[in-house]
Structure 1
Amino acid sequence: MSSFGYMRSTLCLCFICCLLLSRFLFAQSRLSDSLQSALERPHVTGKEKAELLIRLAEIYRVDKNFKLATEKARQSATVALSHKNYTEATKAYTMLLNIKTSTQQFKTLKSTADSALFFAEKSGNPAAMASAYYAQALLYKALDNADDVVKYCNLGLKQLEKSPDPYIAAKIYYRLYAVHSAWNDQPKVNEYARMATENALKAKDYNLLSNCYTAMSVAKSNPDSILLYLKKSELLYQQYPGQVADYTYAIACINLSSAYLKYFPPTDLLAEKQGIYYATQARAVLKNTENSQEVIASSLGILSEYAKRDGHLAQAESYLLAAYKVMQGQQTPYYHTMINVTQALADFYGQQQDYKKAAHFQKEVNQYSQKNFNQEQATTAQKLEIQYETERKNNEVRILKEKEKNRRIQNYLYGCIAIASLLGLLFMFRSYHFKLRYSLQREKQLQLEKQDSELQLKLEQEEQARLKAEQLLLAAQQEQLKKEAMANALQLDHKNQMLHSIKNKLSDGAPVNMHKILKEEMILDSDFEQAKLQIQQVHPDFFHLINGQAQKKLSPLDLKLCAYLYLKMDTRQIAQLMHIEAKSVRMSRYRIKQKLGLEKQDDLNTFLQRLGNS
């Protein structure tokens, strides 16, 4: 294969990487018309309108009608924001970023990516966050910063763990496939291409799935596997008409044609026929499509290689010149493809020894190379400027986030201090309330204890009073018994004396008038009963006091005499009761006065009355 063929194959693969970023779409004209009709329905909701506008924008973006694509994406963002649908707004800004990367509008890439991230954070939707991180990955892809592309792709996948979205996952895995493909990390290339294909199958997005099949073919090194996946991509276009973009199908055709040219020998006429068919098919599909010069030029270049290999040099020249003409018709030529075409023409004319034409096209190669170099330099300068601005803004955002984090920590600490203070005050209040309640309860308890003590003391006093009363009662009873015993003893003593007197008279043989004696005794008994009652009413301490006054010198007979005197009995009564002479009574009175320590002038009766009343 010629150098143009090899470069063309490489160009096709690079071009595929650009087109595989497209979102879900249906047939370009037919689907765009149906979507436009759906937008014009009277009862379409704001959410539905935003989604329809995004799908229209994707169709126009794939068709490279970037003006209409931008218009629809902005309309979608406006509708979504008016209904506070931040998820759709995120998708709209991601679409705008994709369009700007395709048109190399580097100055506004950062602000658009930040807007997507802002609305995603505001939505709180993990799928929206994944879309915003995908937008950041597109930003850093445009800035040729592969490390940050991988970083944001992984952040997007982490968000999808919370809320799976196979469509966004397929996009992110494809972007990781493209990065590792540039790093020649074949195991990762195969892994991410496979993951992208699996998620595209789940999403049932056949255009995206067609691109993923093409990616799988690029990841393979075996010709059979390459053709297998490219055929799958072609089959989707036939099975689902209108749901696979013409551009996607044309790229699959270019890769099929290139594979037949590269892996099959010139003697395999069937393979050559297939290669020519697919190259021709790619041109036919994009015949009336604008901005398709790179793909058409690639198909013409492959046809030129087949013609040259078969010795049809005029036809080969015709294909190359047609490709050159197509590329010149492009408003802003894609210099890489233009360099490949002019280099192929220079090589062709050099081989034909037409050195004038060869020199002419070689000169154009140099001119386009210089233009390409200048363009790349200008683009690199813009990228560096944007990258510097992006880093500066990222640093500012990082500083702001750190300040915000510190402020949140500070507020958190203040909040903790406030809560701690509040808890402290509450604890102090509760402690004071508890102490107060405890104090009141303690005071109440003390009062109850005091009342209990007072009641106990009162009961004890009452008990003591009762015991004392009982003691006094017993003492009174004992004293009464003593008095009764004394009275009875006096009466008994009188009876004994009377009997003794009767006995003495009988012994002496003297006459005894029993009738008279009994009569006198009856009278005396009556008097004695009266005396007995009086004796019982004597002051309880009378005998104790009088005996104490006499220093216990009084005989029982003296005490009886004192009792009779206290009862105010006269000498005659006392003499009769005691069966003694009145003279003996007077003598006994005199002895008692002496024993009591009374003076001669002191009256014994008065003394005894005073003593008994004291």
Structure 2
Amino acid sequence: MKYLVFKNISLLIWIVIGCYTAKAQSLLDSTALDNLGEKDKPALLTQLAERSRINGDYKGAIAKAQQSADLALRFKNLTEAAKAYTAMVNVYSTTKQFALSKKISDTTLILAQQSRQPIALAYAYYAQALFYNAIDNTEQITKYCQLALKSLGQKYDPYLSAKIYYQLYMLNSRWDDVKNVNKYAQAATENALKTNDYNLLSNCYIALSVAADYNYTGTKNEMLRDSIIYYLNKVQSLYQQYPKYVARKTYGISCINSADYYLRYFSDTDREAKANAIRYASMANEVMKGAINGEEIRASSLGILSEYAKRDKNFVMAEGYLQEAYNVLKAKKVPYYYTLINVVSSLSNFYEQRGNYEKALEFQKKATEYNSKLFDEKRTLNAQKLEVQYEAEKKNNEVQLLKQSEKYAQQQKYLYIGIAIASLLGLIFMFRSYHFRLRYSLQREKQLHLEKQDAELQMKLEKEEQARLKVEQLLLESQQQQLQKEVMANQLQLEHKKEMLFQIKEKLSDNHQLNINKIWNEELLLDNDFEEAKFQIQQVHPEFFALLNQRAQQKLTSLDLKLCAYLHLKMDTKKIAQLMHIEAKSVRMSRYRVKQKLGLDKEEDLNLFLQKMA
């Protein structure tokens, strides 16, 4: 009977627990969906799907997860879609639908790779680990769990980290790897403590109790033995504190494990241990009544109660517990054959010990029958696993072949690129060679052109030198003309002075009362006017007198030139008469005479002619 209990407990701990974790938020009522927009529904639907899965409603879990995935894909939320598909993979893996589990896990991975989001990739890798856990491919479980943890290194998610570490814990518990069992159970618990998921945390405490069991078995240290019940009590405390957030099955497992703890590690005479074992076994049996998929826990609890009844020599009660366990398991549509075989074997042994060989034979035949069914079931499952694994490996090989082909194509592409580059370099070399020869030819031509330009420049410089000499010659001629003009202007002034002195002499002879000061002042004014006139004629109109002499048909006297100069300066007749010390009448006559010498018609204006000529 003790074998029955221990075997059931092992199955519950190592196989069943991992399928019943969920976020505390998933316990929200489905009516909360009505208060959310379509875009916000996928996250809650995934949580509700997880809640349904925990409670054994696999059909409802698939429906909610599918609805979540459809909504998430509609709004292009690939991360939430990956979470929803992972929930579906979990259901299909639990219900041994290996083909669907593989299909959805691959879809999840494709979506996650498209999203390039670390969280989405982590969920996709976890989905792959769930699938390979269902078909017992330990190498792939480890691979994808490590990939998931690597993705979570980019963006931390304590909930998913706890589940991944829990998966690794279960894997190492199959191998009885005590070191890794402790390592991963501790890591799972540390991450679960950072979440509000009390059900996940409860399962992690159960994992720590199993690790403590391993440690005690290896060391026989009573402190480690007490750690087993310490962690199981933590689970029961969480259930009492948060009954809505810890699954009944999780609580039932902790109770049945506590009962098994007292059964295995305490003597038959320890009444307190016996009372605790019976209490925990009864609690497990009671809490799982009416629960979906709770038959195995109930059968285990009844097995423990039967063992204690047998120790008390209460064979009627012991038989009753075993019969009840048998009826509970037999009522399930698809029985747990492992537990059912143990129950019927225990009944066969019980009846054999009691001398009821007919009953013993009957249940022994049932044990044989169930063993045959278990064998068929295992063979069918193994065939399915092998088929799915074959398909998975085939697909993986195809992917590897495609990758290899792609790699060869890439290498071929690089080869063609290398050839193209080499050809291009050859063309560039040929072009550069041609370009060098062309450049040399152009440089030679340019050099010849520069030499030609130098010769032309030399000729140009010689011409410019000749032009400069010519300009200097013209400048000298201009200076000579300027000197001649100054001489003429000075002669005009001298003549004027001479004439003025002559007039003073005559006035002195005729009139001894001559006002010398008045004459001097007038002469100073006339000198200033004349100086101004001379400057304008010399500087502004240097060719004036030369042009007059060229135009004149008869030779112009110095007085004619003087009159033309005064007229050119727009002086009136009165002022000209003062400067020339003649009468105004004489000025008009001189104008007429100059006009004739210049060959002007009567209608032409001498003043206008002189202005235009300037």
TM-score by length of 2: 0.68
Structure 1: segments with no counterpart, 5+ residues: 468-614
Alignment of 1:384-533 (within 5 A): 384-410=386-412, 447=449, 450-456=452-458, 459=461
Aligned amino acid, residue 6 of structure 1: F
Give the equivalent residue in structure 2 for 1:357: 359
**What is the Cα deviation at residue 373 of structure 1?**
0.9
> Aligned residue pairs: how many?
459
- Is the contact made by 1:210 and 1:244 (CA closer than 8 Å) also made in structure 2? yes
Equivalent of 1:139 in 131, 134, 146 = 131
**What is the Cα deviation at residue 321 of structure 1?**
0.9
Equivalent of 1:255 in 247, 257, 261 = 257
Equivalent of 2:303 in 298, 301, 304 = 301
Alignment of 1:360-379 (within 5 A): 360-379=362-381
Structure 2 vs 1, CA of residues 238 and 427 (structure 1 numbering), >3 Å: closer, same or farther? farther
Equivalent of 1:113 in 99, 105, 110 = 105
Alignment of 1:35-434 (within 5 A): 36-41=30-35, 43-46=36-39, 48-220=40-212, 221=216, 222-410=224-412
Structure 2 vs 1, CA of residues 440 and 77 (structure 1 numbering), >3 Å: closer, same or farther? same
Is 200-209 or 420-429 further displaced after alignment? 420-429
Structure 2 vs 1, CA of residues 118 and 181 (structure 1 numbering), >3 Å: closer, same or farther? same
Aligned amino acid, residue 21 of structure 1: C
Is 436-445 or 176-185 further displaced after alignment? 436-445
- Is the contact made by 2:202 and 2:238 (CA closer than 8 Å) also made in structure 1? yes
Matched, 1:9 2:25: no
- Is the contact made by 2:19 and 2:54 (CA closer than 8 Å) also made in structure 1? no
The superposition leaves residues 137-161 of structure 1 with CA deviations (integer Å, 9 ceiling, x where unpaired) of 1222222211121122122222222
Aligned amino acid, residue 393 of structure 2: E
**What is the Cα deviation at residue 424 of structure 1?**
9.2
Aligned amino acid, residue 354 of structure 1: N
**What is the Cα deviation at residue 337 of structure 1?**
1.0
Structure 2 vs 1, CA of residues 462 and 81 (structure 1 numbering), >3 Å: closer, same or farther? closer
Aligned amino acid, residue 228 of structure 2: I
Aligned amino acid, residue 19 of structure 2: L
**What is the Cα deviation at residue 81 of structure 1?**
1.4
Give the equivalent residue in structure 1 for 2:17: 19
- Is the contact made by 1:247 and 1:286 (CA closer than 8 Å) also made in structure 2? yes
SS of structure 2 residue aligned to 1:332: coil
**What is the Cα deviation at residue 256 of structure 1?**
0.9
Alignment of 1:562-601 (within 5 A): none
Aligned equivalents of 2:417, 2:84: Cα separation in 1: 40
Aligned equivalents of 2:16, 2:437: Cα separation in 1: 79
Aligned equivalents of 2:19, 2:167: Cα separation in 1: 8
- Is the contact made by 1:26 and 1:245 (CA closer than 8 Å) also made in structure 2? no
**What is the Cα deviation at residue 443 of structure 1?**
6.5
Aligned amino acid, residue 318 of structure 2: A
> Alpha carbon RMSD of aligned pairs, Å?
3.3
**What is the Cα deviation at residue 167 of structure 1?**
1.7
Aligned amino acid, residue 24 of structure 1: A
- Is the contact made by 2:38 and 2:71 (CA closer than 8 Å) also made in structure 1? no
Aligned equivalents of 1:96, 1:2: Cα separation in 2: 37
- Is the contact made by 1:27 and 1:242 (CA closer than 8 Å) also made in structure 2? no
SS of structure 2 residue aligned to 1:344: helix
Structure 2 vs 1, CA of residues 306 and 82 (structure 1 numbering), >3 Å: closer, same or farther? same
Aligned amino acid, residue 334 of structure 2: T
Aligned equivalents of 1:431, 1:204: Cα separation in 2: 76
Aligned amino acid, residue 19 of structure 1: I
Is 191-200 or 400-409 further displaced after alignment? 400-409
The superposition leaves residues 242-300 of structure 1 with CA deviations (integer Å, 9 ceiling, x where unpaired) of 22111111111111111111112222222222222211112222223222111111111
- Is the contact made by 1:133 and 1:153 (CA closer than 8 Å) also made in structure 2? yes
Aligned equivalents of 2:127, 2:435: Cα separation in 1: 62
**What is the Cα deviation at residue 466 of structure 1?**
12
**What is the Cα deviation at residue 431 of structure 1?**
10
Structure 2 vs 1, CA of residues 421 and 380 (structure 1 numbering), >3 Å: closer, same or farther? same
Aligned amino acid, residue 233 of structure 1: V
Give the equivalent residue in structure 2 for 1:538: none
Aligned equivalents of 2:438, 2:77: Cα separation in 1: 59
Aligned equivalents of 1:419, 1:238: Cα separation in 2: 75
Aligned amino acid, residue 44 of structure 1: G
Aligned equivalents of 2:228, 2:3: Cα separation in 1: 21
Give the equivalent residue in structure 2 for 1:496: none
Structure 2 vs 1, CA of residues 111 and 27 (structure 1 numbering), >3 Å: closer, same or farther? closer
SS of structure 2 residue aligned to 1:202: coil
- Is the contact made by 1:12 and 1:255 (CA closer than 8 Å) also made in structure 2? no
The superposition leaves residues 58-93 of structure 1 with CA deviations (integer Å, 9 ceiling, x where unpaired) of 111111111111111111121111112221222222
**What is the Cα deviation at residue 107 of structure 1?**
2.8
The superposition leaves residues 502-546 of structure 1 with CA deviations (integer Å, 9 ceiling, x where unpaired) of xxxxxxxxxxxxxxxxxxxxxxxxxxxxxxxxxxxxxxxxxxxxx
Aligned amino acid, residue 155 of structure 2: S
- Is the contact made by 1:51 and 1:76 (CA closer than 8 Å) also made in structure 2? yes
- Is the contact made by 1:173 and 1:193 (CA closer than 8 Å) also made in structure 2? yes
Aligned equivalents of 1:65, 1:465: Cα separation in 2: 116
Aligned equivalents of 2:146, 2:88: Cα separation in 1: 22
- Is the contact made by 1:4 and 1:301 (CA closer than 8 Å) also made in structure 2? yes
Aligned equivalents of 2:467, 2:120: Cα separation in 1: 98
Aligned amino acid, residue 64 of structure 2: K
Structure 2 vs 1, CA of residues 271 and 408 (structure 1 numbering), >3 Å: closer, same or farther? same
**What is the Cα deviation at residue 168 of structure 1?**
1.8
Structure 2 vs 1, CA of residues 436 and 202 (structure 1 numbering), >3 Å: closer, same or farther? farther
Aligned amino acid, residue 32 of structure 2: A
Aligned amino acid, residue 5 of structure 1: V
Structure 2: segments with no counterpart, 5+ residues: 217-223, 470-614
Aligned equivalents of 1:56, 1:192: Cα separation in 2: 28
Give the equivalent residue in structure 2 for 1:514: none
Structure 2 vs 1, CA of residues 186 and 409 (structure 1 numbering), >3 Å: closer, same or farther? same
Aligned amino acid, residue 387 of structure 1: Q
SS of structure 1 residue aligned to 2:385: helix
**What is the Cα deviation at residue 438 of structure 1?**
9.8
